[in-house]
Amino acid sequence: MRTRLASTLIRFVLPVALLTLVACAPAPIYKTSGAAAVATPAQVTRTPERYSGNQVIWGGRIVHVSNFADHSEIELLAYPLDSSQRPRANDRGSGRFIAVLHGYVEPLDYPSGALMTVEGKLNGTRAAKVGEADYLFPLVDVTQSHVWTAEEMSKGRNNVHFGLGVGVGIH
């Protein structure tokens, strides 16, 4: 009787529990279309003509903000995105790119070091310097952007940990 009850619980409760954990992950913030390029900024710099005009959803860490008369440019160190389109900053960077936003953006709203995701179209490249090194930056004409807060970055992450031992936690 007990094994039958245990078997029934495992058969029904375990899938529900797993689905609940998966449902905690936030949905992507931008809809992807079949036309979206899956290339990294580093790949685009090698063959920019191949990707010109393609839609991209890229993210990374803000390096610098520059404001001009009619637009603003945000230099980002690119990182791969997770399933919710959040930059995975603990991964290795995949090149740099410049997000071009129309109009003025307040640099305090885009602080250096913050994580950001952009959606837009590739619009060529620009040669510039990173320190003393020559660098070719893909340019993204941004249609939507999002700067991630620390709370958003941790939301949907599994906070369940398994292990043996003694620990002390201060919250």
Q: Where are the domains of the chain?
A: 41-154
- In angstroms, the CA 2 to CA 26 distance is 38
The residue-averaged pLDDT of 150-162 equals 66
- CA-nearest of 98, 146, 118 to 57 is 118
Confidence class for position 164, pLDDT limits 50, 70, 90: low
More confident residue, 91 or 12: 91
The single residue listed with the structure tokens 């029934």 is 8
Q: What are the tens digits of pLDDT across the range 103-132?
A: 999 999 999 999 999 999 999 999 999 999
Is the model's pLDDT at 91 over the cut of 60?
Answer: yes
pLDDT of residue 77: 97
Structure tokens that stand for 109 in this block = 């709203």
For the chain, what is the mean pLDDT? 81
pLDDT of residue 26: 53
Q: Which CATH number fits domain 41-154: 2.40.50.140, 3.40.640.10, 3.20.10.10, 3.10.20.30?
A: 2.40.50.140
Tell me the whole-structure pTM to 2 decimals: 0.73
Is the model's pLDDT at 148 over the cut of 70?
Answer: yes
Is the model's pLDDT at 79 over the cut of 80?
Answer: yes
DSSP string, the chain: -HHHHHHHHHHHHHHHHHHHHHHTSPPPSS---TTB----HHHHHHSHHHHTT-EEEEEEEEEEEEE-SSEEEEEEEEE-B-TTS-B-TTSPP--EEEEEEES---GGGS-TT-EEEEEEEEEEEEEEEETTEEEEEEEEEEEEEEEPPHHHHHTT--------S------
Q: What are the tens digits of pLDDT across the range 19-45?
A: 444 444 455 556 665 556 689 999 999
pLDDT of residue 156: 63
